[in-house]
Amino acid sequence: MPKYQNESLKRGLSVLSTVADNAAPIGATEVANRTGLDYATTYRLLATLIDLGYIERSEADKRYSPSIGTLRLGYSYLRNNALYKAAIPIMRELLAKTGETVNLGCRHDTDMILLESCESDHLLGSRLNRSGRYPLHATASGKVMLAFAPNLPELLAQLSLDLFTEHTVTTISALSRDLERVRERGWALNDEEYVIGLRSVSAPIFGQHSELLAAIDISVPTVRFTTASLTQELAPLIVEYGRRISSSLGWQQK
């Protein structure tokens, strides 16, 4: 065991992450199954997290969900995050310029996490769940995070390549070809690969040392943008604004 690690803390955080990552309230038995902990330990940890204000339990069905305490931690991260501070004003400017939803996301393990969304005022627009998890291989931002990742072979080996729509890429060979195109042109396309009726383009955000930090994307409904109009009109913009955010973080284009 690595020096200084606290196993009790690790177990507690594992339980909290399992509750927070689930799309719906979750029962104690399922938490135990996912974390590999016995039921008694899981139940004690859940009770402790309730007392600390990080999760809550419904008295109706005895299922657990994140509480305001978890949200407070997330906001604390955003308030002190240089990426977030640099990106938001530029994202709002891009929203004003295009009238379309602009998203900021980063990779966590084999998923994309939505950090922030500047949403369109259109009645029919893109709406994504903040802090939701999305597949790398079926989203434009996910492809960006894969294409420019320094450990791409290891990441590809971990992906399940689940099928979401008839357009989803589900083989390593096809995905690898797609990622090569992303590196060549500097942006990625999602053409109804995750959700039918939704298209998006995304570009990378780099840090001071050219490290990949995040991705910015514009998401649009297919009724307003064809693939051609999306790539011709919005792809150049997403690259430009991605570079602007990168530059504000100290990145210098080589």
Tokens of 183: 């590196």
- Residue with more model confidence, 14 or 21: 14
- Does domain 81-248 fall into CATH 3.40.50.10900? no
| 230 secondary structure, DSSP code | I
- Reduced to 3 states, what is the DSSP secondary structure of residue 39? helix
- pLDDT tens for residues 20-71? 877 789 999 999 999 999 999 999 999 999 988 888 999 889 899 888 677 6
Strand segments (E) across the chain: 55-57, 64-66, 101-108, 111-118, 133-135, 188-191, 198-206, 212-221
pTM of the entire predicted model: 0.74
Residue ranges per structural domain of the chain: 7-72, 81-248
**Average pLDDT for residues 78-103, to the nearest whole number?**
89
- Examine the pLDDT at 88 and tell me if it is beyond 90: yes
Tell me, what's the pLDDT at 4? 67
The structure tokens listed for 132 are 């939701």
pLDDT at 254 over 80: no
The pLDDT assigned to 70 comes to 73
User: Taking the domain 7-72, which CATH number applies?
Assistant: 1.10.10.10
Long-range pairs, 149-152, Cβ under 8 A, ≥24: 149/107, 149/212, 150/212, 152/179
> For the segment 192-251, what is each residue's pLDDT rounded down to a tens digit?
999 999 999 999 999 999 999 999 999 999 999 999 999 999 999 999 999 999 999 999
Token readout for 150 is: 């320094």
Q: Give the integer Cα–Cα distance in Å for 111 and 180.
A: 20
What pLDDT, on the 0 to 100 scale, is given for residue 145? 96
Confidence of residue 1 (pLDDT cuts 50, 70, 90): very low
Two tokens, residue 163: 């099928």
According to the model, what pLDDT value does residue 53 have?
86
pLDDT at 81: 78
* Residue 97 banded pLDDT, cuts 50, 70, 90: very high
| The two structure tokens encoding residue 40 | 């008694």
**Average pLDDT estimate for 72-97:** 82
Q: What is the pLDDT of residues 139-197, one digit of tens each?
A: 999 999 999 998 899 999 999 999 999 999 999 999 999 999 999 999 999 999 999 99
Q: What is the pLDDT of residue 131?
A: 47
pLDDT in tens, 106-127: 898 888 988 889 988 765 545 5
Exposure of 90 by Cβ count < 10 A (0-12 exposed, 13-18 middle, 19+ buried)?
buried
DSSP secondary structure string for all residues of 69-120: HHHHHHHHHHHT-HHHHHHHHHHHHHHHHH-SEEEEEEEETTEEEEEEEE--
Q: Collect all residues with Cβ–Cβ distance below 8 Å to 184 and sequence separation of at least 6.
A: none
